[in-house]
Structure 1
Amino acid sequence: MATEMLQTRTIRTDGLTQQVLEGGYEGGDAPLVLLIHGFPELGISWRAQVAALAEAGFHAVAPDMRGYGGTDRPGRTEDHTILHLVGDMVDLVRALGRSTCVVVGHDWGAPVAWHCALMRPDMFTAVAGLSVPFQPRRAKGPPTPAMEALSKRSGRGELYMNQFQAPDTHRMFEADVATALRKGFYAYDGATPTERQSTGFIAPGHDFISEVAEDATLPPWMSEDHFAEYVAAFTGSGFKGPLDWYRCLDLNWSLTAFLQGQKIHQPAMFMVGERDPVRHYAGQHEVGLKDWLTDLRSQTVVPAAGHWLQQERPDIVNPALLDFVKSVHTGYFGE
């Protein structure tokens, strides 16, 4: 299915109105695949995957997540916890008239997908994560103090997730949306030279945006028209909601004690770019994934790729994702 054949619509769920990018057969028994974006992205970041899945016979849906783009934006920070985000996906599956689906997540969407699988294994029958591996709940305490300690040990400055805890951090993104997005995409892209990529640590006197070179360009895969879609969406919706996800990190920890030690038993897959800067601070969680994902069917490092994996390398992501979702729906495809 060509990308121009996809549709965008809004769906009213129990909790909020969600805008989705959608492709494939509606209202029938075509298996549902839900694709969850991260920061600072939108449902359109999955355009190539929605098209490929729809062409293969799946019903593929990529929502703008809570606080992003065309989806509702709750005003309170505490309305962006992992419980809200998983609940939104449960509501969306139900609103689509389905009871089960495969869930796929990238960047922040990956932890949401992992938690969908943890909390509702009856609904989310298989899970795939891109760029951010499953990270079990830390028994020793909430994450932001641990990240502060990691920052001190690194000697490279403050981890950006700690900087994002400040209640007004979103304003630096909103001051010049195009520059903020251009620098963010550039700093985490696989085509960016190593010495110009972000490490995730912010040097004293800098912030997430000023840390990146002023001559940062759009990644090779990002057309001006595609970039304009992001700029228009974030100009309208702002960055408070997306950064509220980060501000709920410690609250998430306090709300999920019931998940301590729990493993994911559904079929799972994980992919990460070889040059993804997130591996500087989350890469240690790639080791031992099989201890937590008991049916891990594949774990792939994509050569030379950066963080924006599904947009940088759809030639690798699409076949791998199709193989995975077909493997858990062999009855439907007669295999």
Structure 2
Amino acid sequence: MARVLYNLVIFLIRLAMQIKVVGYWSLIYGYCGVCTAVALLKLWWSFILRPTAVFQWAVRETPPACLNDTSLGTHCYVRIKESGLRFHYVAAGERGKPLMLFLHGFPEFWFSWRYQLREFKSEFRVVAIDMRGYGESDLPLSAESYKFEHLVTDVKDIVEYLGYNRCCLVGHDWGGTVAWLFAIYYPEMVTKLIVLNCPHPSVLADYAMRHPSQLLKCSHFFFFQLPRFPELMLSINDFKAVKSLFTSRSTGIGRKGRWLTVEEMEAYLYALSQHSRSCVLYNHVRSPVLLLWGERDAFLEQDMAEACRVYIRNHFRLNIISGASHWLQQDQPDIVNTLIWTFLKEGEGRKSYRD
């Protein structure tokens, strides 16, 4: 009898777990389906009201002047032999100085690091790249080309092409995830790791599974897996969705910081009009880590920031920036730069970055 009761209890527990999992993912995909349906209804309504305007956008053949600002650095290109892709990057600071490499997020490009390029070029060779599929870097032909293993290899190849065997690595958003993984795969190549508004990949995976609210905030991950539809929705009405992403009250830049100028907004739209498409190993990080987090991040819950501590085997510093949005290096550049300088001076100091 006891054996039968035991088996019954185990069966009921497993059944409850399966129901929970099915219900959980039904909720998420149902939410994504509702969002897609709403987007289609908006598209249909816009087409009814202004049929000729929906699928039109301004032709941007000439980059805004701010992209050619010589104070930001020199525009350079490198073709990686193994992947065959050509990467664009902007570099400043003297050659031979320690390398500080910047990885941007979505839907950005090298320009998102403009304040940091000016700030750190006095002590570093600063390089901000356009990751594959963004800005002036080549667009791979398949979604498979955006696997993390390829993105991490891109960083390694670029660091070595620049003549370095290690760097201070800085990443934000999508680029932050790549930075975390690069520090895991190639710890000997990262002197210090600085991540902005992006949790350790294991923290995000675990937290999102236990908190539906966070998974709903990440629902755009699922949306971007659809073929062609995301590009369409981002580009209609002259990239209206992108403009809203950077300027709206809930997600935009500058509520308590620096607003994007009209020219800076045009720089993003120019880069997106060229092309843009972004369709594991999770372990401990051995490099010293600085994690900066915008208090007003509309996409990531703040509780994940502190949870990253368990994956760091070295010095870990977390700074929550009051009033800052998800785009904090542009929103609060002075505070971000000061915190980065403080972190760089700790322990080894700046001079130890020299190869």
Determine the C-alpha separation between the residues in 2 that align with 1:138 and 1:315. 28
User: In the alignment, what sits opposite 2:20?
Assistant: none
How do residues 283-322 of structure 1 correspond to structure 2 at under 5 angstroms?
283-322=302-341
Deviation (angstroms), 1:129: 0.6
Give the structure with the larger helix fraction.
2
**Residue-by-residue CA offset, 1:104-124 (whole Å, 9 max, x unaligned):** 100111101000100001112
Contact 1:103 1:126 in 2 (8 A): yes
User: In the alignment, what sits opposite 2:159?
Assistant: 93
Change beyond 3 A, Cα 1:302–1:170: same
Deviation (angstroms), 1:328: 5.8
User: In the alignment, what sits opposite 1:199?
Assistant: none
Deviation (angstroms), 1:325: 2.8
How do residues 10-49 of structure 1 correspond to structure 2 at under 5 angstroms?
10-14=77-81, 15=83, 16-26=85-95, 28=96, 30-49=97-116
Change beyond 3 A, Cα 1:225–1:331: closer
2:293 maps to which of 269, 272, 280: 272
Identity of aligned residues (%): 29
Determine the C-alpha separation between the residues in 1 that align with 2:185 and 2:218. 32
Unmatched 5+ stretches in structure 2: 1-68
**Residue-by-residue CA offset, 1:10-55 (whole Å, 9 max, x unaligned):** 12223321111111112x2x11011100011110100110111102
Determine the C-alpha separation between the residues in 2 that align with 1:318 and 1:7. 21
Deviation (angstroms), 1:192: 4.8
Task: State the AA in 2 paired with 1:232.
Answer: Y
Determine the C-alpha separation between the residues in 1 that align with 2:254 and 2:329. 14
Q: How many residues align?
A: 279
Task: State the AA in 2 paired with 1:189.
Answer: G
User: In the alignment, what sits opposite 1:118?
Assistant: 184
* Larger-gyration structure (1/2): 2
**Residue-by-residue CA offset, 1:60-94 (whole Å, 9 max, x unaligned):** 10001110010011010000011111110000001
Deviation (angstroms), 1:174: 2.3
Structure 1 residue ranges (4+ consecutive) displaced by more than 3 angstroms after TM superposition: 137-140, 190-193, 326-329
Deviation (angstroms), 1:278: 2.0
Deviation (angstroms), 1:221: 2.3
User: In the alignment, what sits opposite 2:225?
Assistant: 165
Change beyond 3 A, Cα 1:318–1:275: same
User: In the alignment, what sits opposite 1:223?
Assistant: 261
Deviation (angstroms), 1:139: 8.5
Normalization by structure 2: what TM-score? 0.72
Normalization by structure 1: what TM-score? 0.76
1:174 maps to which of 235, 239, 246: 235
Give the structure with the larger strand fraction.
1
Unmatched 5+ stretches in structure 1: 194-218, 245-255
Determine the C-alpha separation between the residues in 2 that align with 1:177 and 1:7. 29
Determine the C-alpha separation between the residues in 1 that align with 2:169 and 2:320. 20
Contact 2:192 2:289 in 1 (8 A): yes
For the residue of structure 2 that corresponds to 1:287, the secondary structure is helix
Q: CA RMSD in A?
A: 2.8
Contact 1:326 1:333 in 2 (8 A): no
Task: State the AA in 1 paired with 2:298.
Answer: P
Change beyond 3 A, Cα 1:139–1:231: closer
User: In the alignment, what sits opposite 2:246?
Assistant: 185
Deviation (angstroms), 1:125: 2.4
User: In the alignment, what sits opposite 1:150?
Assistant: 212
Task: State the AA in 1 paired with 2:89.
Answer: V
